[in-house]
Amino acid sequence: MAALDPLPELMVEPIVRAALLEDLGRAGDITTDAVVPAGHVSRLVLAARQDGVVAGLDCARLAFRLLNPDVRFTPVVADGARVAPGTVLAEVEGPSRALLTGERTGLNLACRLSGIATATASLADAVAGHKAQIVCTRKTTPGLRALEKYAVRAGGGANHRFGLDDAVLVKDNHVAIAGSVAEAVRRVRARAGHMVKVEVEVDTLVQLEELLTLGADAVLLDNMTPATLAEAVRMVGGRMLTEASGRVNRETAPAIAASGVDLISVGWLTHSAPILDIGLDWVG
């Protein structure tokens, strides 16, 4: 796995700030402000409670430091690390009010992103030995796309397009409205710039055969059996990238990868992956 570059703080900070404001509401943390003296200081640790892959430690750090810059957040592991239950992920020390007020926001984001990274790693492990790479989709939580796609990278996967504007993906409804794969591709070629890559979704080998006469950068082979995928890969013959999607899980992924496809896209990585349980424990 290549070194994981962290997201720029400029991108992460507005997301964390918005989450804190949502939690603070109109009156702030009325429980902590009542119970904890203003000058009180605590030491806590973030610790994994399950096996998994870590992502989102910067979100936790910002959740505390935006509330009080005097908080000291010291990572013990890096995003992308595989951890066991009880592994300390980071040590946190500073004003107790900031630590308790920021706890849920920091954990919500770290648990969510670590869950995505863990799910991605599980699928990446399942296809190890094949050339296929696990990629995500646009089925992300509104407002969290950059973070969730980062978490996929932390788990050893790669990213599909980030939005509607950075690549063309002609899907079944586009084809239905255009009347054919050929007409949809013709319209795209007339509109998209020369730097824009074009991918076309096909459901059948007949559609694939039509696409091969037109040319594209990639083909999305949707909901095909492993045997049909293998035939599609043979037909393409390396002329474009092949991407499989549909019914992908840890049990089906090895057979899909064995078909020879280049990419396997998985929507549930970002819309349904369970969180990784991470706790914030008081140590003094």
The residue from 79, 93, 148, 201 that is catalytic is 201
CA atoms within a 13 Å half-sphere pointing along the CA-CB vector of 85: 3
| Residue 7 contacts residue 146 (beta carbons within 8 Å) | yes
Residue 171 annotated among the catalytic residues of the structure: yes
Residue 72 annotated among the catalytic residues of the structure: no
The residue from 72, 131, 171, 186 that is catalytic is 171
The residue from 13, 222, 231, 277 that is catalytic is 222
| Residue 88 contacts residue 47 (beta carbons within 8 Å) | yes
- 241-245 vs 218-222, strand pairing mode: parallel
Both tokens of residue 100?
Answer: 């308790």
Residue 222 annotated among the catalytic residues of the structure: yes
* DSSP single-letter state for residue 192: S
Q: How many helices (H) and strands (E) does the chain have?
A: 11, 12
Both tokens of residue 223?
Answer: 């909901």
The residue from 139, 187, 189, 197 that is catalytic is 139
Residue 201 annotated among the catalytic residues of the structure: yes
Task: Report how far residue 175's alpha carbon sits from residue 161's, in angstroms, rounded to the nearest whole number.
Answer: 20
Q: How far apart are the first and last CA of the chain?
A: 37
The residue from 49, 82, 104, 187 that is catalytic is 104
Q: What letters, b where the CB count within 10 A reaches 16 and e where it falls short, cover 97-117?
A: bbbbbbbebbbbbbbbbbbbb
Task: Report how far residue 180's alpha carbon sits from residue 27's, in angstroms, rounded to the nearest whole number.
Answer: 57
Return the active site residues: 104, 139, 171, 201, 222
